[in-house]
Every structure is written in C-alpha cells, then in structure tokens.
Amino acid sequence: MSPINMFTISLAPHQPYTLSYHLSTPSNQVAETIDPAYPTILFCHPPWIDGYIFYPQFEEPALHENYNLLAIDLPGHGSSHVDSAPSARYEWHRAAEAIYFALEALNVAPVHVVGVGSGCLSALRLVLAHPESCENLALVGPLTEHEPVALDEAFKEWIDSLKAAVAEKDKEAIYALNKFSIDFLTDQEGNPVIADLAEEYGQMAEARLDSGEMEFALPYYCDLLEARNELPTQEEIEQLLCPLLVIEQSFIDNPTPPANIYTKAIDAINARKFREGRVCSASRLLIEGTAPSRWMSLTYQEPVNLALAEFISTKTTLSLPPSPASPSVARRPSTPRDITGFFIPPPPKLAPGRKTLGEMMDELEKRGEGVNVEVEVLVQIGE
C-alpha cells in the first residue's frame, strides 16, 4: 500500500486552513480527480462531523455508478485543518463560500447539491449565492423555524460544556459530549454502527486536541451550531431557480408535519412556475419514522437514497413515490474506514531518523500486512 495521497491547491498565501474532500467516480471509488464525463453530486455535512457521514450514499450503486460523489470537510472538521481561529464569527455563508472556492479550485460546476441536517444551511447559502453553480438542491431533514425551547437550551448547554472541556483539555468530557450528540442526533443509541461512528469521531477529537489544533477549530464548530437557526428568509428561498426537493420525517401520530418555511416556499415557487407556464419544480417528500433524526441520510438510508437518485436523475419530483416503504436503520459501511488512514493530525516536525506515516505504511505492505486507506485530497483555501 502506497502512502495516502494528499494534495493541496493554494488559492492565496494567507489562507488559514486546508479543506479535504472525499471523492468517488464511476470508475474509481477512491478517486483523486473529478471525471468530467459524469455529473457531480456535492454533499454538505453538519457541524462537528465530516463527509464520511455520507458513506451510505457513496455506496449506493444508483449514485456511485452514475455520478461523481463529492463530500468536502469544512474547516476544522474531519481531515481539514486550521492554522488559526476565524477572525470573525464563522457563519453559514462563510462555510458556503469555502465550499464554493473548493469547487472553483476543482473546476467542477454546476453540481447537484445535497445538504443534511444543519448542513442544509451551507447547501442553501451556496445555491442562493451562486445559482449558476448548482443544477438542483435536495435538503434532507433541514432544520425549521420550530425548534423547541428545551432543545435550544440543550444545544446551548452542550456548546458551553464543549468549550469548557477544550479549555481544560478534558478528553473524557469531550468523548462523552461527542457520544451524547451523535446518539441524540441519530436517535439510535445502542446501535453498534452509531457506537462505532461515535468512537471514531471521539478519536478524531482527541487527535485534534493532542495536536493543539482543537482550540483553533472550536469556533468553526460552535459558531455554526449557534447559528443553526439563522435560516434564510422565506423570500430568499422563494428565489431559488433550480429544482428543489425537501425530505422530512413524518410519524404515525403525526403523519403530516406542520407547514414550515420550506413548505411555504415550495408553494410559492410552484405558483411562480405555474404562472410562467413552466413545470413545477419544488416538492416535499415525507418519510415515515419512529423517532426524530437530524441525520436522515444515515439513519434512513434506503428511502433517502431512492429519493435522491430519482430526483437527481430526472431533475423533477413528479415521478417520486409519495412515501418510500419503510425506514431503514444505520448499517455498517462495506469497507470500514481506518482511523489512522482517514484522519491525519497536522504533521509534527520529525526528529532525525523518525519515520513518516507513509513510510510505516510501506513497511507494513512489504511485510504483507493489509492497510486500508482512503484517498484524501486537500484544497488549500482561506477565509
């Protein structure tokens, strides 16, 4: 096994962070470059986690056999690194601009955009600011304006606790906060797949803390989480030019969730298209679930994948089923990621004679010991 391929593209000398991306093409599921013969789907992840959360979509044949699949880790997330804290509050429009700069550097546009949970906010901001770069937009489990007060208080307590744990370098507290957040946001406590994911993200947080990078990365998490309810206005969403699909949950005791900013915008968009004599291009799809999950692409993989594949392939929602059959639960990836291979802390200065990670991997290969590594491509961009 050769060393991990890590590439950087410098956009400006003052950039305070690098962005990593994870790419699959129809001919290579660990690709380094976009295949221009195929369209590209861009996945936008929520704060704290990274693009690996989309492994169910990267493994879906209807998607990976027909599209380039691209997930970009936001600054301080996953394998993206930061050299300093942001100079000002890190809001969703800044996250969207980072993604846009990466798309420009990769020379890939327009793209089909998919956001999940609070990651829908970076997806929305990207499409609103750069409509020419987007073919269509799918929002999977977007946050609405109806967040309960108790939930808002719980997020505030979690954020305050994380800041305190980082300041005190309390690894046990960070592990506990990480596990709590992932259990809560998936509502699958006890699921071994979710437990594995929580353990992996806990290890990533520990590596970032040990490297000294966590204090720089912290605002990138917390600022976005604190801004999770700063939604675009209904008027802004109504200006969307591309086809729109909003996937939300319904429940047996509440089969039709209340109208929200997205349903109102969908009605307005379709009314405008009807007046213009064009095909209605916005719709809402409800997937029945037993408990709330903010990361529906992970916890309701099969129906979400079905809906995304149909929507993106037709650029319309007219042929979508009214509701996929039954919700799925998180399953293990067919190729589990290797923590050491997937997350690489900022490289330390090597003492004389010390071996690099790549050299150690080469030695393992020569001895016949398998090393599972995913390709990581880094895009150097800045604020």
Digit-coded pLDDT (tens) for 183-213: 988 888 888 888 888 998 999 999 999 999 9
Pull the structure tokens for residue 315. Answer: 């650029």
**C-alpha to C-alpha distances, 275 to 93, 159, 315, nearest whole angstrom:** 31, 46, 20
Three-state secondary structure call for residue 18:
strand
**Closest to 118 (Cα-Cα) out of 185, 200, 195:** 185
CATH superfamily assigned to domain 17-146+231-347+375-381: Alpha/Beta hydrolase fold, catalytic domain (3.40.50.1820)
On the question of pLDDT at 9 being above 90, the answer is: no
pLDDT at 81 (0 to 100): 86
The helix-helix angle for 149-167 and 171-186 (nearest 10°) equals 150
On the question of pLDDT at 82 being above 80, the answer is: yes
Question: Predicted confidence band at 328 (pLDDT cuts at 50, 70, 90)?
Answer: low
Pull the structure tokens for residue 70. Answer: 């691209």
Question: Predicted confidence band at 372 (pLDDT cuts at 50, 70, 90)?
Answer: very low
Alpha helices in the chain (DSSP H): 55-58, 61-64, 92-106, 119-129, 149-167, 171-186, 192-211, 214-226, 234-238, 261-275, 296-299, 301-314, 339-342, 357-366
Q: Of all residues in the chain, what percent carry a pLDDT higher than 70?
A: 79
Rounded mean pLDDT, 73-81: 90
Greater confidence (15 vs 282) lies with 282
Beta partners for residue 28, in sequence order: 25
Mean pLDDT, rounded, of the chain: 82
- Which residues, 6+ apart, have CB-to-CB distance to 290 below 8 Å? 251, 252, 327
pLDDT at 337 (0 to 100): 64
On the question of pLDDT at 8 being above 70, the answer is: no
On the question of pLDDT at 284 being above 50, the answer is: yes
The C-alpha torsion from 353 through 359 and 363 to 366, rounded to 10°, is -140
Question: Predicted confidence band at 377 (pLDDT cuts at 50, 70, 90)?
Answer: very low
Question: By the 8 A CB rule, do 137 and 123 touch?
Answer: yes
pLDDT at 335 (0 to 100): 64
Question: Predicted confidence band at 352 (pLDDT cuts at 50, 70, 90)?
Answer: very low
Domains of the chain: which residue ranges? Answer: 17-146+231-347+375-381
Rounded mean pLDDT, 320-345: 54
- In angstroms, the CA 267 to CA 196 distance is 41
Rounded mean pLDDT, 129-136: 96
On the question of pLDDT at 340 being above 50, the answer is: no
On the question of pLDDT at 132 being above 90, the answer is: yes
pLDDT at 366 (0 to 100): 54
**C-alpha to C-alpha distances, 330 to 15, 59, 139, 255, nearest whole angstrom:** 37, 13, 19, 22
On the question of pLDDT at 181 being above 90, the answer is: yes
At residue 286, what are phi and psi to the nearest 5 degrees? -105, 130
- Which residues, 6+ apart, have CB-to-CB distance to 92 below 8 Å? 121, 122, 124, 125, 224, 227, 230
On the question of pLDDT at 325 being above 80, the answer is: no
Rounded mean pLDDT, 103-132: 95
List the single range of 41-55, 95-109, 332-346, 368-382 with lowest mean pLDDT: 368-382
The whole-model pTM stands at 0.84
The top-scoring range by mean pLDDT among 240-254, 326-340, 366-380 is: 240-254
Rounded mean pLDDT, 311-336: 62
